[in-house]
Structure 1
Amino acid sequence: MSLLPVVLVDEQPPEPGASKDLLWIGLDEQDRRYALKTVEPGHKYLPLTEWLCYQLCGLAGIITPDFAVVTRLDGTEAFGSRWEETARQFSPGKVSDAEFIGWLARARADVSAMFALDAFMPNDDRHLGNILFTQSGARLRALAFDWSRTRIFEPWPWAAGCNSAMVWQWLMGPNPPLVNLKETQDRMDRIQAITGQQVEAILEAAPELWRDNFDCAAAGRAGRQATHTMTPNIAHYGVLSHYPQPNRTEHANIGIVVFLADGSVRVHFGQDLKKLRAMDPQVDLDAVRSWETGLPKMLAGQNLEQATTFLQHFGQWKLSGNLGKFSYTDEDNYLLRVANALHSL
């Protein structure tokens, strides 16, 4: 964030095709450009939302373009995100599929980190064009920008079918994934450590015009509640393996059985069971997947020791003797952890 006042000397409309929330680009005396977010009739808290999210990024170690409160030609104050002149940005007409995936792979840690805040706030509009790629020495960095469609501290998850959810699902699809789940969780932990008082102080530091009738104290309380409801739970899990011939050691890991703190059980199979079919052509994959719901019902009422003992000899299936464990905060976070465990099979 710029500590010196930024006064604009020129303002221009953006090029066609820019974000619908970007109405002006401002230039200061040194010809540095800023993407401006201003108070608008349909989104009066637009600059305040950007201000809060950029500040939270700084506290959580998520990199963004530089930003500042800028004074416009009419004397009003706008949120200004410094224009990254040398940054690269996704455009299907200019960047090939292979090139773009290469960018994401090289900047995996940064991309993973930004989705932590997108999930926490939540921000429904992290589309592929809302990531800037810049070269820092030999390292390619990914910068997060544009939180215009953030719902400040509203409950998770993302809105069904929103850009953030679809992009995250796509990033999780390749093998290996284009995101690092540990990096996402680490940044989520740092965000959770931000107090409600810090959130309130950030909001109170914004220009008064941006805060018109906005309850900063209530937002701070909402931030505390969001942190409180994300207190980690501990789950134990074992790897479920299929043995085509019980008397031989050859087997395929097919999924995990998760034992939750409340005594319930959940079963998750890998998305791709081709290895299982190749090893045992007689396997009915639909029958296998039916046990995602059938097995928890069968294990209902059993404690952890009873359930794990029962699964040591479950037909051609066997549960690993040693259980792993992971922490999670809510359903979305739980599914991230499960995906990570399945990926490591």
Structure 2
Amino acid sequence: MPSVLGTNRHVVCKRSKPPPRTADATCIAINEQSQDRYLCKDQTSADWLPMVEWIAQDLARRCGLLIPDCFVVELEADPGVYMFGSKWEGGAEQYAPDIVGKVTNPDEFSAIHAFDLLIHNVDRHLNNYLYLQLAGDTVVKAVDHSRCLCFSGWPLPPPPPDLSSNTMRAFGVWSADAAWKKAVAEQVIDKWRLVKKSELQDTLDSLPPAWVLPNRRTDLLDWWESADWDARTTNVLGALP
């Protein structure tokens, strides 16, 4: 796969401003031509962070999840330094106790939860679901994957994440208002099994080289389609509520 650099998934921005208070965000970059905004993360807090965010977004899309578009973002003032940028979506609301019951695509919660178990995402707190107001509807998407894959060490711990994790605590909250749909979760796992190692390799090879640490690349590619990968995927299926 050709590099994303120089394509429409690589944006160069003149302006930036401080991010909201989050653990990993570097800035909000502003594309003055399109007026798009991107929540950006660099390698300051973890050298693997942009790669993991991009890979998780790519896998989420392949598994059928709704996610914001992501880009490689570069600031004119800092050429050659590439950040992961998640496109800022307007109309988003913060979590509130009544918002889950208003969501018009509630099955997405089950899909996201299955995916989080597959990538061992320990930080799907209630504001790492993106609640969008679209033409009078409340639509939920998944956002932020900075605490998954190699974050918890390699190989991945067995599923599910610890019950004290943000992911499992949030599950206990939203599942009180959005019915758990095991069949939807199983469809995500089926799609995960269809992702080929060659597709994952192509994605890695398309990224800025500084993002792709050789040991992380090897760990992920050696694991994908291995007996351990297959067994863990089966264990995720067994861990579903």
Greater relative CO (CA pairs within 8 A, separation 6+)? 2
Deviations 1:212-232 (A, max 9, x none): 33442331121223542156x
1:130 aligned onto 2:128: yes
Aligned 1:106-117 pairs, distance under 5 A: 106-117=104-115
Q: TM-score, normalised by structure 2?
A: 0.84
Secondary structure of the equivalent of 1:229? helix
Alignment-derived partner of residue 54 in structure 1: 57
Q: CA deviation at 1:141?
A: 2.1
Per the alignment, residue 333 of structure 1 pairs with: 237
Whether the 8 Å CA contact 2:91–2:134 is kept in 1: the answer is no
2:203 match: 202
Please give the alpha-carbon distance, in whole angstroms, between the structure 2 residues aligned to 1:147 and 1:212: 18
Aligned pairs for 1:1-345 (under 5 A) are: 3-15=8-20, 18-30=21-33, 31-40=35-44, 42-72=45-75, 73-75=77-79, 76-90=81-95, 95=96, 97=97, 99-104=98-103, 106-137=104-135, 139-152=137-150, 154-157=156-159, 158-172=161-175, 174=176, 177-225=178-226, 226-230=228-232, 329-330=234-235, 332-336=236-240, 339=241
How far 1:200 moved relative to its partner? Answer: 2.2
Structure 1 CA distance for aligned equivalents of residues 203 and 9 of structure 2: 18
Over 3 Å counting, the alpha-carbon distance change for 1:182 and 1:78 in structure 2 is same
Cα offset, 1:28, TM superposition: 1.0
Q: Which moved more, 1:51-60 or 1:205-214?
A: 205-214
Distance 2:237 2:63 in 1: 17
Unaligned segments of structure 2, at least 5 residues: none
Unaligned runs of 5+ in 1: 232-328, 340-345
Contact 2:106–2:178 (Cα < 8 Å) also in 1: no
Number of aligned residue pairs: give it.
227
| Distance in structure 1 (CA, Å) of the matches to 2:93 and 2:121 | 22
How far is 1:8 from its partner? 0.9
Cα distance 1:227–1:196, how it changes in 2: closer, same or farther (>3 A)?
same
CA drift at 1:335: 4.5
Q: Aligned residues: percent identity?
A: 25
Q: Distance in 1 between matches of 2:126 and 2:88?
A: 18
- Is the contact made by 2:120 and 2:148 (CA closer than 8 Å) also made in structure 1? yes
Residues 33 and 177 (structure 1 numbering): CA distance in 2 closer, same or farther, change over 3 Å? closer
Q: Secondary structure in 2 aligned to 1:228?
A: helix
How far has the Cα of 1:5 moved from its partner?
3.2
- 2:112 partner letter: M
Match of 1:271 in 2: none
d(CA) in 2 for partners of 1:156, 1:224: 17
Does the 8 Å contact 1:12/1:26 carry over to 2?
A: yes
**Residue 179 of structure 1: SS of its match in structure 2?**
coil
RMSD of aligned Cα (Å): 2.3
Following the alignment from structure 1 to structure 2, what is the Cα–Cα distance between the partners of residues 183 and 138?
Answer: 25
Shift in Å, 1:151 = 2.6
CA distance in 2, matches of 1:335, 1:147: 21
Relative to 1, partners in 2 of residues 1:8 and 1:145: Cα closer, same or farther, differing over 3 Å?
same
Deviation sequence 1:237-256 (CA, Å, 0-9, x none): xxxxxxxxxxxxxxxxxxxx
Aligned-partner residue type, residue 124 of structure 1 = V
**In the alignment, is the contact (CA less than 8 A) between 2:129 and 2:141 conserved in 1?**
yes
Q: C-alpha distance in 2, partners of 1:217/1:335?
A: 27
Which TM-score applies when normalising by structure 1? 0.60
| Greater C-alpha radius of gyration | 1
SS at match of 2:85: strand
